[in-house]
Amino acid sequence: MSRRFVSTLLALVCATAPALSTAQTRDATETAGPAMIEARVRHAAAVALMAQASTNATLYNAALAEFERAYQLLEGNPRRYLELKNIGDCHLGLGQTDAALDAYRRYLREGGASAENREDIEQRIRQIEDTLGSVEVLTSAPGAEVWVDNRRVGTAPGTVRVPGGGQRVIEVRAPGHAASRQTVRVVSRQSLRLRFALEPIGFRGLRPAYFWVTAGLGGGAAITGAVFGLRALWLAPRSTPGWATRRSPSASWSPPATATTSDRLALVADVFFASAALLAAGATVLAFVTDFHRGREHAARPARGWALLPWSSGAARGASWTVGF
């Protein structure tokens, strides 16, 4: 927002504020209670502060607090809406155009069709909107807050209005994620698109490599144990008469030597099966503490066919079928 535009609007503020104070005093109810008396005092103090504020943010903040308190005290008064113009003027003096627009629009809503200075407020709204640019904020954390120059202005993903004519610090914040910020130059009446990738903080889960290595070793141990087990069964002596002959008519069977080899093979098979069982248990535990989405936040779903994809949400993890057509 240009300094000339701000100066022009602030000049109008200083010129109209005393008149509003007089109007409110004239139209006050005859039986003014303590709340009405306090509202008048606070309004007068705020007008005095604004007259001295110029570009002093401290005085504008002090005047804003007084106007907001006066607005609260005037609840039920038909001219309460007039304080919204003063509140908007203070926000405008602080460069908070979003809050100023909100106050001016509330002035028109609460004042209705017969609101005083309605055309002036409508023109002021149009002038402010002409100085704003649009920023579309995209983020990997839905529902994140968008802050501009350390002021909350909206949520992401979505579009926010930002004062043009200079550089702005746009920051995105979300619970459980590290904040991300970008400094950009915003031009009035133009659109800009920004993308923020928020990194989760705290324990995200283990890398998928640990799970897949453990599962692979477990599967390999089970296969190896099965091979040794089948070999042991093949060489094991049988009590059934004629077993050796039925196995192979030309085979020469030596019970003592074959039994020793079979026992050794069976022992090796048992070791591999036990290892496979331990690795399977470890893989099951890892499945619940592994971040399977690491590095795949923006992965596209399959276009056709089906896929079995692991998923995680907070403490819950599992797998789901994904079908594309």
First-to-last alpha carbon distance for the chain, in angstroms, is: 50
Which pLDDT does position 307 carry in this prediction?
A: 39
Do 76 and 182 reside in the same domain of the chain? no
Residue 202 lies in a domain: no
Residue 90 lies in a domain: yes
Residue 233 lies in a domain: yes
d(CA 4, CA 211): 63
Among candidate residues 109, 130, 151, the one where a domain is terminated: 130
Q: Residue 272: CA atoms inside 13 Å, Cβ hemisphere, count?
A: 19
Q: Distances in Å between the alpha carbon of 188 and those of 19, 95, 101, 185, 316?
A: 33, 15, 16, 10, 46
Give residues with Cβ within 8 angstroms of 183, minimum separation 6: 167, 168, 169, 170
Q: Does the pLDDT at position 325 exceed 80?
A: no
Which pLDDT does position 308 carry in this prediction?
A: 41
Number of domains present in the structure of the chain:
4
pLDDT in tens, 241-270: 444 444 555 555 454 544 578 888 888 888
**Tokens describing residue 292:** 């399977």
Which pLDDT does position 81 carry in this prediction?
A: 92
pLDDT in tens, 75-114: 989 999 999 999 999 998 888 888 899 999 999 999 998 8
d(CA 96, CA 103): 11
Find the domain containing 118 and state its range: 3-130
The residue with tokens 């030309």 is 250
Q: What is the mean pLDDT of residues 292-296?
A: 65
Do 173 and 116 reside in the same domain of the chain? no
| Better-predicted residue by pLDDT, 19 or 43 | 43
